[in-house]
Structure 1
């Protein structure tokens, strides 16, 4: 039976859905902002235009865009909102999280029921399931499968997935469609997704490729047919940044990964050695370092090394 495993780390919560010993779905939820599904008390800051795109602020003065409008509420009035999409870090920091007006009372988001993993722990359950490989897929955007590979590129408009390989086009289109759908789920990719498959030589092959997507990707989603050029578009609910989008914020993404590695290592004082950009990210979040110090039972020092790649940080004993 599929089972959710949840690990509350430093700066983030990591959740994976495991089936037959493999991660089939994963998500990273960042600390510091309300999660999708949270209901917050707030006030209406703007009624928007034409009954759409109103703006609300919560008690922390964070702004939320209400695409469906304010439903007749007046500016300055108190209301409750449900967060439908968290803030998306990256190239468009001006984009606000999304919400809708609700009659529900304020409450936190309902977390998936699952097994809470101890953190830190002598046994790294997530690594044993392939967590580190998953992070590498997110940071590189490259996902390999038997006979080919995917190249995943997030853009402001949609996430694009290019399928390439050396198999005959019809077979590659079918295998690539399955691999793209599985990666979409595994890397928590939502919103508009474009998959560029090889140009299949027959309508039957294109239909089979579409059926592969339907089999591999759970509802809810909508998709177009695979057109004659091999392109198919999928639209899924988008509640948070995908792992690929989070990895675009390289310094913070790698900083949290390094903190996880250091926490899971042997206890005791440590020095974190990393690229200067990563060290700057850690210095900007002193609470992360304080938490790591408590978890390992010792002091934490930082040392910048410009010769290291951004993902090449490591922890050494003091």
Structure 2
């Protein structure tokens, strides 16, 4: 197994690959607060006597801070050790979280993006398949499909198919456990299996989940009489599924740039997309694309295109 990393425009992507198959995926968007880093900020909100408050970085990033000393007052310049990145939810933003630090501290420990082997391009189709599944919020498996819903309280996975309930539940387990890693899911996750009346059938599914999640840190309930299982895993920031649910134009814009980077041949690059996707392309990204490819970049708006149908092509200069 080998972690590979693509340094893309507007995002870095990492894949754990074994024998040509992706086992896990991670995404980082530059500029986001990174769990493990310590940042300078200003304490902007703190109730008298409370150990919690809010700090603001020079870049305007709000952080909910814990363990504030009694003597600290609003307006103080502080250091905050980030424990979780900000996450968008339906109708609101969950601010980044951190704890009070007495100093700038050490640099964050190296993570996957620091230690993975850099490649210009992942093996063909691997990233595209994961991205498409996360975009559609659906993963097919033999006999059925997983349907994902990102809610403020938890990520819910519904299992749908035509197989008998026990067979369907057991057939879904490998797809469920694979998707948890490929979408980098964390937090509270609910799995709605088919209702299984027999206790032995429920125990069989619990055992299958335990076996396939043995090396994935989490806590899990046993399946109840309605087929529901809850998993809780550590969450340090938005998953790929969360990004593609709550930042669809931004995600589509980054995917469009990735497609453009992979083009071959002489000529200019034409990016064709819905105007909302084109509007999400930052000028610096377009300049980076032109620099990386050595080509002129042109934009073409097509309001009839779905966001995910954005495409790039080589056209005559």
Judging changes above 3 Å, is the alpha-carbon distance between structure 1 residues 177 and 50 closer, same or farther for their aligned structure 2 residues?
Answer: farther
Cα separation, 1, equivalents of 2:58 and 2:187 = 28
Residue 314 of structure 1 and its aligned partner are, at CA, apart by 1.4
Q: CA deviation at 1:10?
A: 0.4
| In 2: Cα distance, 1:204 partner to 1:49 partner | 55
Which whole-Å CA distance do the structure 2 matches of 1:290 and 1:245 have between them? Answer: 28
Q: What residue is the counterpart of 2:107 in the other structure?
A: 107
User: Residue 232 of structure 1: which of 197, 207, 229 is its match?
Assistant: 229
Tell me by how many angstroms 1:106 deviates: 5.2
What's the counterpart of residue 255 of structure 2?
257
Distance 1:106 1:117, change over 3 A: same
> 1:23-46: per-residue Cα shift (whole Å, max 9, x none)?
111111111222222221223322
User: What does residue range 142-291 of structure 1 map to in structure 2 within 5 Å?
Assistant: 142-217=138-213, 218-248=215-245, 249-266=247-264, 268-282=267-281, 285-291=282-288
Q: Is the 8 A contact 2:263 2:314 kept in 1?
A: no
Q: Normalised by the size of structure 2, how large is the TM-score? A: 0.90
Deviation of 1:108 (Å):
4.5
CA distances 1:125-181 after superposition (whole Å, capped 9, x unpaired): 2434x2111111110011011121100010111100001112221122222233212
Once residues 141 and 220 of structure 1 are traced to their aligned partners in structure 2, the CA distance between those partners, rounded to angstroms, is: 23
Structure 2, unmatched stretches of 5+, are none
Separation of aligned partners in 1, 2:123 and 2:48: 47
Go from structure 1 to structure 2 and tell me whether the alpha carbon gap of 1:92 and 1:32 turns closer, same or farther (over 3 Å shift): farther
Q: Residues of 1 paired with 2:51 and 2:222: CA distance?
A: 31
- C-alpha distance 279-109 of structure 1, shift in aligned 2 (>3 A): farther
Per the TM alignment, residue 254 of structure 1 is displaced from its structure 2 partner at its CA by 0.8
Paired with 2:109 and 2:12, the residues of 1 have a C-alpha distance of 13
Paired residues, what number?
308
Change in 2 beyond 3 A, CA 1:159/1:49 = farther
Alpha-carbon distance in structure 2 between the residues aligned to 1:289 and 1:77: 39
Alignment partner, residue 70 of structure 1:
68
SS state of the match for residue 256, structure 1?
Answer: helix
Structure 2 distance, partners of 1:288, 1:160, is: 34
Separation in 2, partners of 1:143, 1:53: 40
TM-score, normalising length: structure 1:
0.90
Aligned twin of 1:125: 122
> C-alpha distance in 2, partners of 1:253/1:193?
23
Q: Distance in 1 between matches of 2:204 and 2:49?
A: 43
Q: Report if aligned partners of 2:272, 2:311 keep a CA contact under 8 Å in 1.
A: yes
Query: For the Cα contact (< 8 Å) 2:4–2:122, is it kept in 1?
Result: no
Alpha-carbon distance between aligned partners in 1 of 2:136 and 2:69, rounded to the nearest angstrom: 43
Inter-partner Cα distance in structure 1 for 2:47 and 2:200: 47
